């Protein structure tokens, strides 16, 4: 064992750095006495519209509820037999949102960078009813242009360019994300007025409409905390890029970085494709460096999804899932810690 410990995320450090601002925002929100749909909600929604370049934004309780609301909108306007084409290398929430909305799903393979491959994967052609879902895995920009209605699961990549072909994007502010909440949080952003009206009504139990809705709003307290973080997101993103560039320079002849367009990447995760992944992870852990695997199994290898049409065990996703490792990348890492991580990976004998 070494004398240092480098955690995988920096949430505790972030709070210590901005504690007084978080406490002041908490006090302001609580004293106002309007704990839902108040000034901080309005401020954050306006900020999101400006940041994403979208016309409309609706805050919600989580990225999952945001994606499920979009899925339910499409279920409402399409046929019961519709299929949602979902990347197989993603977090289960992507698939769950559409299954819970009543869609049949078809799991689609990826390339070696985790980018979804659409056209050749559609069974029966791309003219059947359905919706394609793009995931910017690890922060990769989504560049696909499928002919079906196209939705972005922007949980990991939303701080990069949004796909102009998509009709709506779901955002997550999970604590692990680049712009983290203090618990859960999400949003739907879109240029489509019909989607906006439906989603807004859905999250208010369909009040004054014929929508059968739900309640999944973000609280004023959470929105107040998010407005503190928005002041620093550009600084944090710049730091993430600096760390990613240092890793890439130090490890360029040692590992492959799972990122096809490194200039248009949010660096939500810094993921390497490496021989002997499990041994490297174990050895780094013994040296005090915490890592993660995103993801150790594609969806089609999980029993609850294996009966859906999928690319099979010989897929690129299956191969990639056995080789990828996520290294710590967050603004609160010190230069010394970044160097330690790079040195340990570079000098590892797999």
Residues 6+ apart with CB under 8 A from 346: 250, 251, 254
Residues 6+ apart with CB under 8 A from 25: 40, 224, 225, 227, 228
CA-based nearest residue to 295, from 59, 94, 78:
94
- Give me the tens of pLDDT residue by residue for the chain, a chain 350 residues long: 467 899 999 999 999 999 999 999 999 999 988 888 889 999 999 999 999 999 999 999 999 999 999 999 998 865 546 899 999 999 999 999 999 999 999 999 999 999 987 754 444 444 566 899 999 999 999 887 777 889 999 999 999 987 888 999 999 999 999 999 988 899 999 999 999 999 999 998 887 777 788 888 899 999 999 999 999 999 999 999 999 999 999 999 999 999 999 999 999 999 999 999 999 999 999 999 999 999 999 999 999 999 999 999 899 999 999 999 999 999 999 999 999 999 999 999 86
Model pLDDT, residue 153: 96
Q: What is the DSSP letter of 217?
A: P
pLDDT in tens, 200-256: 999 988 877 777 888 888 999 999 999 999 999 999 999 999 999 999 999 999 999
Model pLDDT, residue 210: 78
114-118: Cβ within 8 A, 24+ apart: 114/89, 114/138, 114/140, 114/258, 114/271, 114/317, 114/320, 115/140, 115/142, 115/143, 115/144, 115/260, 116/87, 116/144, 118/85, 118/144, 118/146
Query: CB–CB of 89/97 below 8 Å?
Result: no
Model pLDDT, residue 231: 98
**Assigned token pair, 41:** 């909600």
92 burial (CB, 10 Å; 0-12 / 13-18 / 19+) is: middle
What distance in Å separates the CA atoms of residue 148 and residue 83, rounded to the nearest whole number? 11
Three-state SS at 6 = strand
Model pLDDT, residue 316: 96
Helical spans, DSSP H, in 78-219: 92-100, 193-202
What distance in Å separates the CA atoms of residue 216 and residue 306, rounded to the nearest whole number? 30
Query: CB–CB of 139/160 below 8 Å?
Result: yes
Model pLDDT, residue 37: 85
Model pLDDT, residue 128: 62
Model pLDDT, residue 249: 97
pLDDT in tens, 159-196: 998 788 899 999 999 999 999 998 889 999 999 999 99
Three-state SS at 84 = strand
**Assigned token pair, 291:** 């890592």
């Amino acid at each position: 064992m070494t004398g240092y410990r480098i955690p995988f995320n920096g949430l505790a450090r972030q709070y210590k750095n901005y504690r007084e601002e978080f406490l002041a925002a908490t006090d302001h929100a609580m004293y106002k006495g309007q704990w839902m749909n108040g000034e901080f909600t309005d401020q954050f929604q306006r900020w999101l519209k400006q940041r994403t370049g979208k016309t409309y934004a609706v805050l919600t309780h989580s990225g999952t509820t945001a994606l499920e609301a979009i899925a339910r909108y499409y279920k409402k306007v399409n046929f019961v037999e519709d299929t949602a084409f979902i990347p197989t290398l993603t977090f289960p929430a992507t698939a769950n949102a559409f299954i819970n909305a009543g869609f049949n799903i078809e799991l689609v393979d990826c390339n070696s960078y985790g980018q979804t491959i659409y056209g050749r994967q559609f069974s029966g052609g791309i003219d059947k009813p359905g919706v394609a879902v793009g995931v910017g895995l690890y922060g990769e920009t989504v560049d696909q242009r499928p002919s079906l209605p196209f939705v972005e699961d922007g949980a990991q990549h939303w701080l990069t360019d949004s796909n102009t072909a998509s009709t709506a994007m779901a955002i997550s502010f999970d604590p692990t994300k680049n712009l983290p909440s203090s618990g859960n949080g999400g949003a739907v952003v879109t240029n489509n007025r019909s989607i906006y009206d439906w989603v807004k009504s859905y999250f208010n139990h369909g009040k004054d409409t014929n929508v059968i809705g739900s309640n999944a709003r973000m609280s004023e307290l959470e929105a107040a905390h998010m407005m503190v973080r928005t002041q620093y997101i550009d600084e944090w993103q710049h730091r993430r890029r600096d760390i990613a560039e240092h890793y890439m320079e130090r490890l360029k002849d040692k590992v492959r970085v799972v990122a096809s367009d490194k200039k248009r990447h949010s660096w939500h995760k810094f993921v390497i494709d490496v021989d002997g992944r499990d041994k490297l992870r174990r050895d780094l852990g013994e040296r005090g460096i915490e890592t993660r695997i995103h993801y150790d199994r594609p969806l089609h290898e999980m029993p609850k999804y294996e009966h859906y049409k999928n690319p099979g065990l010989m897929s690129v996703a299956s191969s990639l899932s056995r080789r990828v490792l996520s290294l710590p990348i967050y603004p609160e890492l010190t230069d010394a810690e970044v160097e330690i991580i790079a040195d340990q990976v570079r000098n590892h004998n797999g």
